[in-house]
Every structure is written in structure tokens, then in C-alpha cells.
């Protein structure tokens, strides 16, 4: 990846003249079955640009209560787009047409207009869970009838595709827009992309500039993303196996509670409420022993498996956690 970055052909992307970025955008559009795509520095920017294009100030966006756009993007929905979020509670990150039906505001001037629904697939905070494609299709059919748009936060779409067997284009098809990430399981140092119709992407390009995401000779970053797409998607299955191995080891720790049905891809969320210690205390203790985990949800901590940690290292980490907690 470093080698292709150093050899990348570059130009000025603000003028649309960086050939490597253009190649990446064409590839992403093709993979997702969309007319066009746009390279952006981060997943948060990708999501927020899409929300900005789809909404008007005063609108309302239906999100899942534990979703990334609601919890981990520093209130950007309100700050950047002047819209409010309506959180619904899903089961392992999955919510239903009926949940959205109840969330839609009546068509009266005194209430916000429900203009967008956001689905996250895979769902980070639920433990890397997959939103079933039939449910997505049903959701799309329903919101279209209601005149509401549908956006996919597909930061880990590649994981969802590998684990489910559904092609990225099949997953993205029901959505007006989708965002994907290259700096997670694919191992690139920087970068995400959004995709949609040509008109949508042209609007998105303008907001990317407004949000400070216009870059010049950024083909070095796009080269890394292209390498990840070309070489690191199929190997995601290895990460999913490592997560299951780790979850099995940590499920034996007294006080740890893991919903094994959520371990569908590369994330393990551990409820630590029964340990008698706080999440921060456990994270600090493990950090001092060389094991790095993060906060997961309200009651737990999170482990993520990826290409930089081998299966042997995952097993070693599991052993260290078990010894430390004992």
C-alpha cells in the first residue's frame, strides 16, 4: 500500500484533475451500482454531506438510537444541517418499517418534516451486526411512498457484504445515497467515499468544499483506498473469524456478558456491568498490559479485529484479558 501511494499519479482534485482519485470514484460508483461517487477525508464528512444534500433546515432525520451519525459525529446533524434527529430503538441495530411509520411527523406546518432515514450497516455499536437486505428493501419501498429519502452509512459495508454474501451493489441499491470507508477493515490510512446520482454527487461536491474537504494532489490517499479495494476485501473473512475466536475466549471471563448473536463480523462488544468495575477502569488496566480496546456502548467495551492483528495476537490478547480480569 505504501508503495502504490508513493507511485500514485496525481493532479488537482479541486478541479477534478487527479487521475487516481477519479479512478477510485469510478470504481466505487461501479461497486455500489451508482452513477457517481465522491472521495472525502472521513466517514463523518461523507455522512454529513449526504444529510446536508437530502434535507432542509428544520427537517427531521430518523436514525437508530445507537447509530454512528447520532452518537459519534459530535452533533453535526444539528450543527451543519440545522435539522434534528428522531432516534428509534432497534434490536441489534435493526429497526423496522413500523418503527419509522410511528416516527414520521404529521403533515402540519407546526411540526418538523421527516425527510430522511439513515441505516447503518454494519452497525458499530450493536457489535458489527448486519441489517438484513430484505428489511432494507422493505424500508426503501415504504419511505419512497412517503416521499422520504434513504441514506446508507456503509462505513463497514465491505464487512456486511463478505459476511452476508450480498454484493455491495445489492446492498446499496435501495438507497438514494451511500457512504463507505477505506480506513477501517481495508487498512487505508485516510478516506471514505459517498455515492449516488450524478446530480446528488455534484451537490455533494459543493458541500465538500464548504465543509473543508476539498483537497489538491490527494491521489496518494486514493491510491491507498484503491489498493484496499483490490486486495483487502476478500480477506475480511479472516477478521470475522478472529472476532468469533476472541468472543469465545472473552465469554468465559467472569462478569463479561457477550451477546454471541451480535458477533457477525469484526466487532465484539462486551457488557462489563457485572464486573463491579467501570469501563474506563478495565480499559486502563488492559492498556497497561498492552491490550487496546475502546468504549463500546453505554455498558461495555469494544474490541475490533483487523488486518494489523494476527490470529495468534488475537488469542494472546484474549489470554491477557482473561488473566487480568481473574
Closest CA to 182 of 2, 24, 3, 9: 24
Closest CA to 271 of 248, 255, 294: 255
Q: Are residues 286 and 225 in the same domain?
A: no
**pLDDT of res. 232:** 98
Q: What is the CATH number of the domain that holds 178?
A: 3.40.640.10
Counting the structural domains of the chain, the total is: 2
Give the Å distances, CA to CA, from 170 to 157, 167, 184, 197, 241: 11, 5, 21, 16, 24
Q: Are residues 71 and 186 in the same domain?
A: yes
Q: Are residues 76 and 189 in the same domain?
A: yes
- Determine the average pLDDT of the residues in 121-136: 97
Please determine, for residue 298, whether its predicted confidence score (pLDDT) is greater than 80: no
Q: Are residues 81 and 96 in the same domain?
A: yes
Q: What is the CATH number of the domain that holds 247?
A: 3.90.1150.10
Q: Are residues 216 and 292 in the same domain?
A: no
Which single residue is written with the C-alpha cell 457485572? 274
Q: Are residues 210 and 130 in the same domain?
A: yes
The confidence band for 199, taking pLDDT boundaries of 50, 70 and 90, is: very high
Structural domain ending residue among the three candidates 198, 231, 264: 231
Domain hosting 289: range is: 236-325
Q: Are residues 221 and 245 in the same domain?
A: no
Structural domain ending residue among the three candidates 191, 216, 231: 231
pLDDT in tens, 228-266: 999 999 999 999 999 999 999 999 999 999 999 999 999
In sign, the C-alpha dihedral spanning 190, 226, 68, 116 is positive
pLDDT in tens, 18-39: 999 999 999 999 999 999 999 9
Q: What is the pTM of this model?
A: 0.96
Q: Are residues 157 and 254 in the same domain?
A: no
What's the per-residue H, E or C state across the chain? CHHHHHCCCCCCHHHCCCHHHHHHHHHHHHHHCCCEEEEECCHHHHHHHHHHHHCCCCCEEEEECCCHHHHCCCCHHHHHHCCEEEEECCECCECCHHHHHHHCCCCCCCCCCEEEEEEECCECCCCCECCCHHHHHHHHHHHHHCCCEEEEEECCHHHHHHHHCCCHHHHHCCCCEEEEECCCCCCCCCCEEEEECHHHHHHHHHHHHHCCCCCCCCHHHHHHHHHHHHHCCCCHHHHHHHHHHHHHHHCCCCCCECCHHHCCCCEEEEECHHHCCCHHHHHHHHHHCCCCCEECCCCEEEEECCCCCCHHHHHHHHHHHHHHHC
Give the Å distances, CA to CA, from 116 to 56, 59, 105, 123: 10, 9, 12, 18
Q: Are residues 197 and 266 in the same domain?
A: no
Closest CA to 154 of 123, 199, 190: 123
Q: Are residues 131 and 258 in the same domain?
A: no
Q: Are residues 252 and 225 in the same domain?
A: no
Q: Are residues 222 and 243 in the same domain?
A: no
In sign, the C-alpha dihedral spanning 226, 37, 74, 130 is negative
**pLDDT of res. 66:** 96
Amino acid at each position: 500500500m505504501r508503495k502504490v501511494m508513493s507511485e500514485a499519479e496525481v493532479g488537482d482534485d479541486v478541479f477534478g484533475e487527479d487521475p487516481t482519485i477519479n479512478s477510485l470514484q469510478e470504481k466505487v460508483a461501479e461497486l455500489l451500482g451508482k452513477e457517481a461517487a465522491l472521495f472525502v477525508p472521513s466517514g463523518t464528512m461523507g455522512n454529513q454531506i449526504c444529510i446536508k444534500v437530502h434535507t432542509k433546515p428544520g427537517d427531521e432525520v430518523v436514525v437508530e438510537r445507537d447509530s454512528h451519525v447520532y452518537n459519534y459525529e459530535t452533533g453535526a446533524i444539528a450543527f451543519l444541517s440545522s435539522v434534528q434527529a428522531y432516534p428509534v430503538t432497534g434490536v441489534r441495530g435493526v429497526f423496522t418499517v413500523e418503527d419509522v411509520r410511528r416516527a414520521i411527523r404529521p403533515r402540519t406546518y407546526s411540526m418538523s418534516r421527516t425527510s430522511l432515514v439513515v441505516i447503518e450497516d454494519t452497525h458499530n455499536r450493536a457489535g458489527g451486526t448486519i441489517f438484513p437486505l430484505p428489511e432494507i428493501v422493505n424500508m426503501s419501498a415504504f419511505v419512497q411512498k412517503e416521499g422520504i429519502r434513504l441514506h446508507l452509512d456503509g462505513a463497514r459495508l465491505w464487512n456486511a457484504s463478505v459476511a452476508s454474501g450480498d454484493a455491495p451493489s445489492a446492498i446499496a441499491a435501495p438507497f438514494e445515497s451511500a457512504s463507505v470507508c477505506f480506513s477501517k477493515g481495508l487498512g487505508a490510512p485516510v478516506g471514505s467515499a459517498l455515492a449516488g446520482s450524478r446530480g446528488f454527487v455534484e451537490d455533494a461536491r459543493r458541500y465538500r468544499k464548504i465543509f473543508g474537504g476539498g483537497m489538491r494532489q490527494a491521489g496518494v490517499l486514493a491510491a491507498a483506498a484503491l489498493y484496499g479495494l483490490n486486495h483487502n476485501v476478500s480477506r475480511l473473512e479472516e477478521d470475522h473469524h478472529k472476532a468469533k475466536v476472541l468472543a469465545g475466549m472473552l465469554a468465559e471471563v467472569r462478569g463479561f456478558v457477550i451477546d454471541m448473536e451480535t458477533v457477525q463480523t469484526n466487532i465484539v462488544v462486551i457488557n462489563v456491568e457485572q464486573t463491579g468495575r467501570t469501563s474506563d477502569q478495565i480499559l486502563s488496566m488492559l492498556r497497561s498490559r498492552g491490550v487496546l480496546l475502546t468504549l463500546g456502548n453505554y455498558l461495555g467495551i469494544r474490541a475490533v479485529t483487523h488486518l494489523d492483528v494476527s490470529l495468534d495476537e488475537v488469542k494472546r490478547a484474549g489470554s491477557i484479558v482473561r488473566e487480568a480480569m481473574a
